[in-house]
Amino acid sequence: MAGTVSLPMENLPSRITLPNVSPANSELTNRGAYVARTADCMACHRDDYSGGVPIETPIGNIYSTNITPSTRYGIGNYTEADFKKALRKGRAPNHQLYPAMPYPSYHGMTDEDISALFAYFQTVPIVDTPPEKTTHLPFSLNIRSLMLAWNVINVPSTENRSGLTNTQQRGEYLVNNLEHCGTCHTPRNLTQGLDKDRYLSGAPLGKWFAPNITPDNDTGIGLWSEMDIVNYLRTGTLDKRAYAGGPMAEAVAHSIRYLTDEDLIAMASYLKVVPAIKTDDYLIPVNVSRLPQPVSDSITYDLLEQKDYLAQAKAETVTSVDSRISSHDVNDSNSPKDLYLIHCASCHGVDGYAQPDARYASIVGLSSIRRVKTDALVGVIAFGAKGAFNTAPKMPGFSKDLSPAQIASITNYVRVTFGGLPNSDVSAADVTRVIKEKS
Ligand code: HEC
Ligand code: HEC
Ligand code: HEC
């Protein structure tokens, strides 16, 4: 049934209302503000669109530009046709843009959305200063005109599927063209374009890994219902299953959580029908009976109770050796549990349930601790996570304070205790390699 919405909407966590960023407040500019949110222009051009944010690429940092209507430093002289060319083809009036600006995804934006976006950008406050930093690549890499050949191979970055319902078509448009989920979740080909054959099947992303989000049951999100996907995308969490950290936390915070119910449902419905791709990054199914119970009903909310309980746990020195948790490399008197209590439990709780309301992640059952490939998890523990808002708590990195053997030991502890895995054998050598590769 094309276009019908089949999900129980009343169960949805409520939507974050879009701040009224456009003073003009007309229907057209408000629509443009919504398109700007869904396309997450702020992620790279800053909240005030003044630019200067570095985008890491294999050829070096490319800095975003000022896109306020300043005629000196921004896009005040752009016509709507210029704007359309920049979004769809990566052509600024005087030069070819690097694809750090996701025009290969925006290529498919509709004329109506581009017009609304253009009207909205006329109304954002002018920032009459140049970005703090601009792109300076060495001459040999200054390949702006070579990008034209690249574009022939890599633009557009996605293909439209046939046989979709109206709702799924809307979802496809959001996933591919506005939200550009594939720029993180689709692996790159040899030319750094998106590899269409491995669409949404997971890709490394700096210190993080954006997992497989195709509907494969063993390595992707095939076991998630549409409602699970909607809940995760709106709140960034899925109880005892998944958490949106790092770059995904930012995508949720700055863009995805503002989407209307209809648009979230459209994306979820579409993600269920993209081709399932099995990768070698298996998710070990969660065995709910092995997961710990919260220590008490109130402990996740009561900080003092949590503090007392932690003190008590630390006082009971752990002497028993748990054979499931490989810690053979640790040459000190602290057991894996001790290490966890000392370094992690103050934020994540003795029982792993943490303080979700204060944005300390509950780590019980998370997909990120149940993957066969553990590099991303080791990366989070070694380098930390900064949280999506200035006010969000940060996770410190432990690569300086703990030895690789200790980090391995904690990783194994977390996977077995809070992931419910039968065993885990991350070694000190694995940790050393990850730290070297991601530093
Ligand atoms: C993933 C990061 C990213 C996102 C998201 C993004 N941009 Fe950009 N954008 C860039 C970078 C980087 C540049 C500079 C590229 C270069 O110098 O070649 C740029 C350049 C531009 C330019 C060219 C300005 C000029 O004349 O130099 C325009 C216009 C623009 N972006 C508009 C937008 C709009 C509108 C959105 C949202 C629909 C958006 N961008 C989203 C990274 C991004
Ligand atoms: C800026 C990069 C980025 C963008 C854009 C992005 N993601 Fe993600 N996504 C990630 C990363 C990194 C993770 C892993 C987060 C973690 O483990 O804490 C993730 C996790 C997820 C997960 C959880 C998978 C699991 O097994 O736990 C889903 C579902 C997901 N993303 C869907 C989407 C969708 C849909 C979009 C577009 C609307 C999107 N993402 C856009 C980087 C991104
Ligand atoms: C000061 C508080 C703090 C400490 C100490 C801390 N964390 Fe975290 N941790 C956080 C916060 C906050 C997040 C969420 C980060 C985000 O939103 O990107 C997090 C996220 C995580 C995640 C989820 C990663 C993901 O995105 O899927 C894991 C796993 C984790 N921490 C494990 C640990 C381990 C193991 C330790 C001890 C070695 C530890 N943390 C110490 C605050 C802390």
pLDDT the model gives residue 362: 92
Distance (Å, rounded) from C-alpha 28 to C-alpha 109?
A: 16
Domain assignment present for 18 = no
Residue whose CA lies nearest to ligand 2 atom number 34: 181
Tally of domains in the chain: 3
For a mutational test of ligand 2's pocket, the pick from 185, 238, 366, i.e. the residue with the most ligand atoms closer than 8 A to its C-beta, is: 185
**DSSP state letter for 174:** I
Find the ligand nearest to 36 CA. Answer: 1
Is residue 149 over pLDDT 50? yes
Give the range of the structural domain holding residue 253, as residue numbers without chain letter. Answer: 157-271
Ligand nearest to the CA of 42: 1
- 363 pLDDT more than 90: yes
- Regarding whether 415 and 348 lie in a shared domain, the answer is yes
Residues 6+ apart with CB under 8 A from 312: none
Q: Which of 154, 184, 201 is the last residue of a domain?
A: 154
> What digits encode the pLDDT tens for the residues 309-333?
888 888 876 555 566 666 555 555 6
Quick one: average pLDDT of 416-422?
Answer: 95
Residue 244 has pLDDT above 50, yes or no: yes
pLDDT by residue (tens digit) across 246-297? Answer: 999 999 999 999 999 999 999 999 999 999 999 999 999 888 888 999 888 8
**Could you tell me if 427 and 292 lie in one domain?**
yes
143 touches ligand 2 (CB under 6 Å): no
Taking the CB of residue 77, how many other CB atoms lie within 10 A of it? 11
The CB of 210 under 6 Å from ligand 2? The reply is yes
Residue nearest to atom 28 of ligand 2 (CA): 213
174 with 242, same domain? yes
Domain match, 144 and 161 both = no
Pocket perturbation via mutation, ligand 2, pick of 40, 214, 248 by most ligand atoms within 8 A of CB: 248
**What pTM was estimated for this model as a whole?**
0.92
Residue 3 lies in a domain: no
Out of 271, 302, 322, pick the residue that ends a domain: 271
| Centre of ligand 2 from the C-alpha of residue 254, in Å | 13
Q: Counting ligands in written order, which one lies closest to the CA of residue 222?
A: 2
Whether residue 264 is found in the same domain as residue 366: no
Same domain membership, residue 135 and residue 35: yes
pLDDT higher at 10 or 421:
421
- Read off φ and ψ for residue 275, nearest 5 degrees: -60, 130
Backbone angles phi, psi at 57, to 5 degrees: -135, 165
Residue 316: inside a domain:
yes
Q: Which residues line ligand 1 (CB under 6 A)?
A: 36, 39-41, 43-45, 55, 62, 64-65, 67, 75, 86, 92, 97-98, 100-102, 117, 135
What pLDDT, on the 0 to 100 scale, is given for residue 143? Answer: 66
Nearest ligand to the C-alpha of residue 85? 1
Ligand nearest to the CA of 360: 3
CA 384 / ligand 2 centre spacing (Å) = 17
- Which range, 3-12, 216-225, 332-341, 350-359, has the best average confidence (pLDDT)? 216-225
Q: Which residue did the predictor score with more confidence, 98 or 227?
A: 227
CA-based end-to-end distance of the chain: 50
**Do 52 and 189 have their domain in common?**
no
So what's the pLDDT on residue 57?
Answer: 79
What does the pLDDT read at residue 1?
A: 37
| Residue 21 pLDDT level (bands cut at 50, 70, 90) | low
**How many angstroms is it from 413 CA to the middle of ligand 3?**
14
Distance from residue 101's CA to the centre of ligand 1 (Å)? 4
Whether residue 21 lies inside any domain: the answer is no
pLDDT at 139: 57
DSSP string, 192-217: SSB-GGGTTS-EEETTEEE---SS-T
Q: Looking at the structure, tell me whether residues 68 and 35 fall in a common domain.
A: yes
Judged by phi (left if over 0) then psi (alpha if -120 to 50, else beta), residue 90 lies in: left
DSSP bridge pairs for 292: none
Q: Kindly give the number of the ligand 3 atom that is closest to the alpha carbon of 340.
A: 37
User: Which pairs count as long-range contacts for 10-15, CB under 8 Å and 24+ apart, including other chains?
Assistant: 11/227, 12/230, 12/231, 12/234, 12/261, 12/264, 13/231, 13/234, 13/235, 15/234, 15/257, 15/258, 15/259, 15/260, 15/261
Share of the chain above pLDDT 70, in %: 90
CB 270 less than 6 A from any atom of ligand 2: no
Residue 243 CB less than 6 A away from ligand 2: yes
Q: Does 292 reside within a domain?
A: yes
| pLDDT over 50 (residue 354) | yes
Å from CA of 213 to ligand 2 middle: 8
The answer on 425 and 328 residing in a single domain is: yes
What pLDDT is attached to residue 2? 40
Regarding beta strands 54-57 and 60-63, do their DSSP bridges make them parallel or antiparallel, or are they unpaired?
Answer: antiparallel
> Dihedral of the CA atoms 136, 140, 141, 142 (nearest 10)?
60
Query: Do both 103 and 174 map to the same domain?
Result: no
Q: CB neighbours (10 Å) of residue 333? A: 8
Q: What is the CATH number of the domain that holds 426?
A: 1.10.760.10
Under the banding of pLDDT at 50, 70 and 90, the label for residue 5 is very low
Give the confidence band of 398 by pLDDT, cuts at 50, 70, 90: very high
Residue 283 falls within a domain, yes or no? no
Q: How confident is the model at residue 7 (pLDDT cuts 50, 70, 90)?
A: very low
Residue 169 host element (H or E) = helix 166-173
For residue 278, CA distances in Å to 216, 374, 379 come to 6, 17, 23
pLDDT over 90 percentage in the chain: 66
One domain for residues 262 and 297: no
Which residue's C-alpha comes closest to atom 34 of ligand 3?
A: 344
Q: Mean pLDDT lowest for which of 22-26, 130-134, 233-237, 252-256?
A: 22-26
Region for residue 29 given its phi and psi (left: phi exceeds 0; alpha: psi -120 to 50; beta: otherwise):
alpha
Do both 301 and 421 map to the same domain? Answer: yes
Give the HSE-up count for residue 369: Cα atoms under 13 Å, Cβ half-sphere: 31
Residue ending a domain, among 129, 154, 179, is 154
pLDDT in tens, 57-116: 777 888 999 999 999 999 999 999 999 999 999 999 988 898 889 999 999 999 999 999
Residue 249 forms part of a structural domain: yes
Confirm whether 9 is domain-assigned: no
Return d(Cα 33, Cα 47) in angstroms, integer: 12
Give the range among 126-130, 163-167, 313-317, 318-322 with minimum mean pLDDT. 318-322
